[in-house]
Structure 1
Amino acid sequence: MNTNSKMKEFVEENKTVLDNPIIKSFLADEDNFNLVQEAVANPTPENKERVDKAFKEHYHKVKLVKYVSKLIHFFSIDYDRKVNRIKQKYLLILDQPISSDNENDVVAKDLITSENHLSFDNVFGSTLKDQIENEDLIQALTTLTQKQLQILELLYLNMISLKEVAYLLNTSPQNISNQHRKALKKLLDQLV
């Protein structure tokens, strides 16, 4: 009996087993198909062992891919749930729905129609002197050096830390701290 007729007979006898998706994917690989064909044509224990070993490796790979795929799938679902839970917990007032019916989810920010938004920098000014209304304090600010005034503006208007100011002005944090302290002392002396 030749190899093709043995293979046809093998396929007829094992038709239901060969419909299994894992076996189909195993036989789709040309190397695995050749191993099975050799084992059917020459059913020695060595040939059967090679097919068995190749199938075990294939099955392990399929299971690993399936596991990782499910892991990614469920991790992404859990991540989306976590993000949605955080978004729902920390809604901004304007992001909250106006009505409780689920049909019409209108939020307050959608009802705002003004497109002429004012910048706070334009309203209050961008320097420390523009922010202060007390004339004595404005006068005291004029006694500061340009560097001291810049440090106060960065610290109090821009809310930047001492380390960040030191980095911006290319100096040490100790120097910024000393300049800050001297500026405040000078302001205090002028106001008292």
Structure 2
Amino acid sequence: MNEEQSVFILLTNTGTLFTRMIQLYTKAPYNHASISFDRELHELYSFGRKHPSNPLNGGFVKENIETGTYSKYPNTTCVIYELKVTLREVEKMKRVLNIFIRSSPKYGYNLLGIIGVALQEPVEFSNSYFCSQFVAEILHRSGIKLWNKLPALVTPNDLRTSERLRIVYEGRLRDYRPEQEVE
């Protein structure tokens, strides 16, 4: 049973102070990564702000493109990628994701991990992740290897460089329509 399914990776730039600080260093257009199992992005997960107005309280979050942080920053820009995977790989990813969901209160944001990326030295804690580390961890634990580096060193920009990812949309997040296709 090798039926193909799609997983979606959303990269965003909200324009927040934190994002602008990261962008000064990375020079990358997008500095936040999330993963979804549906084109509509209803089931969207990442590590980020738990409350839109408090950038210091971060951890595992179920995001919503119409409420929460994204509603506070209506000019958020994004790129959405589609990754074709097998049904078995999706099942593995959802099992890993369910571990995060069940244990969500114990997870924190790995701010030191971002510094580790800058130094090319992985900084890992058992219950802390930053956004792209989390997306890479979900893929890695499911047997999907898109890069030759540890999840703790994967950046949102690395997600843009994988040849297995196909752009389905780029523009303002609030203008995204799931039925749209980039030609």
Q: TM-score, normalised by structure 1?
A: 0.18
Structure with more strand by fraction: 2
Structure with more helix by fraction: 1
Q: TM-score, normalised by structure 2?
A: 0.18
